[in-house]
Amino acid sequence: MKLTVIRFLMIVAVASLAGCDHATKHAAKAELENAPPQAVIGDFLRLDYVENRDTGFGLLRWLEPETRLPIILALQSLGALALAICLLRRRTFDVYAAGFALVLAGALGNLSDRILRGHVVDFIRLPHWPVFNLADIWITIGVGLLIFANTGVLPRRRAEAEAKS
């Protein structure tokens, strides 16, 4: 397959995943804001609208809110740019490309929320875990793929495996 087609498909995949994240956040805001949490699977899985004005796990809560948002926007933008470069440098759609695409889609989903709303909409609640969204799921799965690909857990192409032996 031509490199331009592969890159086009990767961009479409990232845009589609980020779009799904954006659509679910829009629906969560419309249906869950100012409403009590909705049980999906008993107390295990609930839908609960939360506006996250910090990073994951509240890592920057010690910063003043006026300082926090510009720092998060700058770092998240640089991270998304680095991920886009890594993705577009791939010559094939492999495990690495899938990992970069998922992380980039999640990063763009949360970045667009911060740009448009000033915060990230989270709405999926599990016991003993911070509330999260689809973008966070994309990031987690993508990072997992990248880790597994680098540790040799996932099979590599035969030529790559033989070259390293």
Q: Where are the domains of the chain?
A: 3-164
Kindly state the average pLDDT of the residues 49-63: 76
Give the pLDDT band (50/70/90) at residue 58: low
Tens digits of per-residue pLDDT, 111-131? 999 999 989 999 999 999 999
Lowest mean pLDDT among 8-17, 48-57, 150-159: 150-159
Q: Is the pLDDT of residue 138 over 70?
A: yes
How far apart, in whole angstroms, are the C-alpha atoms of residue 22 and residue 113? 8
Strand partners, 124: 47, 132
Residues acting as catalytic residues:
122, 136
Note the pLDDT of residue 3.
Answer: 83
Give the pLDDT band (50/70/90) at residue 160: low
DSSP 54: S
Strand partners, 39: 46
Neighbours of 23 (CB within 10 A): 11
Tens digits of per-residue pLDDT, 83-98? 999 998 988 888 999 9
User: Contact, 31 vs 40, CB < 8 A?
Assistant: no
Kindly state the average pLDDT of the residues 134-143: 96
Give the pLDDT band (50/70/90) at residue 19: very high
Note the pLDDT of residue 158.
Answer: 47
Note the pLDDT of residue 69.
Answer: 83
